[in-house]
């Protein structure tokens, strides 16, 4: 009898799976408005992504979710690094974790520019 009460309650407490947006590409805004040595956060499915224009003009994109405890990272123009404010984690512009507690690199995305529109995409 206990199980007949507990089972539905426990099942109720467990959240159901909700289908996720699994888009493989997303538009990340105008390329011309992203200045050299700056970064931009954009929504990519359910998570944020970061697009960085290097000082030399090259565009790179990564997931913006820190591999340490999932805070959202940002671009630091003074360090020319990607930085997580939560626990002071640093990534270089290849997404590699270079100092602080992050255990893994940021996942890179492919960047293309079409008619001044930045399009980032992930590989399946």
Partner 1 sequence: MALRAWLLERTPLASIEEAVAHKSVPRHRYSVFYFLGGMTLFFFCVQVVTGALLLLYYRPSATEAYESVGFIMTRVPFGWLVRSVHAWSANLMIGAAFAHLFSVIYVHAYRPPRELTWVSGLLVFFITFAFGFSGYLLPWNELAFFATRVGTNMAGVVPGIGDSIVHFMRGGKDVSGATLTRFFGVHVAILPAITTALLAMHLVLVQYHGMSVPPSEEARVKQTGKAGPSMPFAPHFVLRDLFGWTVALALLAALSAFMPWELGRKADAFAAAPAGIRPEWYFLWMFQALKYAPATVLGVSGEFLVLIPVNLGVVALILLPFLDRNTPRSRRVIKGLATLALIFMIAMTALALLEKAP
| Binding interface with partner 1 (CB under 8 A) | 13-15, 18, 20, 41-43, 46-48, 64, 68-74, 76, 78, 84-88, 97, 100-103
Q: How far is the CB of 87 from partner 1 (least distance, A)?
A: 5
13 touches 6 (CB < 8 A): no
Q: Which of 53/56 has CB closer to partner 1? A: 53
- Backbone dihedral angles phi then psi of residue 52, each to the nearest 5 degrees: -120, 135
Least distance CB 83 / partner 1 (angstroms): 8
Instruction: Say if residues 54 and 62 touch (Cβ distance below 8 Å).
Output: no
First to last CA, the chain: 47
Closest distance to partner 1 from the beta carbon of 107 (Å): 16
CB of 68 closer than 8 Å to CB of 83: no
For partner 1, which is the closer residue by CB, 36 or 43?
A: 43
Please, what is the Cα angle at 74 between 94 and 52, to 5 degrees? Answer: 45
Comparing CB distances to partner 1, the nearer of 10 and 55 is 10
Q: Which CB, 84 or 118, lies closer to partner 1?
A: 84
CB 26 within 8 A of CB 112: no
CB of 103 to partner 1, least distance (A): 4
């Amino acid at each position: 009898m206990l199980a007949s009460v507990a089972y539905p309650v426990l099942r109720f407490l467990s959240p159901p799976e909700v289908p996720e947006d699994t888009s493989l590409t997303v538009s990340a805004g105008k390329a011309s408005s992203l200045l050299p040595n700056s970064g931009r956060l954009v929504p990519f499915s359910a998570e944020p992504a970061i697009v960085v224009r290097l000082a030399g003009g090259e565009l790179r994109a990564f997931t913006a979710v820190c591999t340490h405890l999932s805070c959202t990272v940002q671009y630091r123009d003074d360090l020319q690094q990607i930085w997580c404010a939560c626990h002071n984690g640093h990534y270089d512009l290849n997404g590699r974790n270079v100092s602080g507690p992050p255990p893994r690199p940021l996942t890179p995305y492919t960047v293309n520019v079409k008619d001044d529109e930045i399009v980032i995409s992930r590989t399946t």
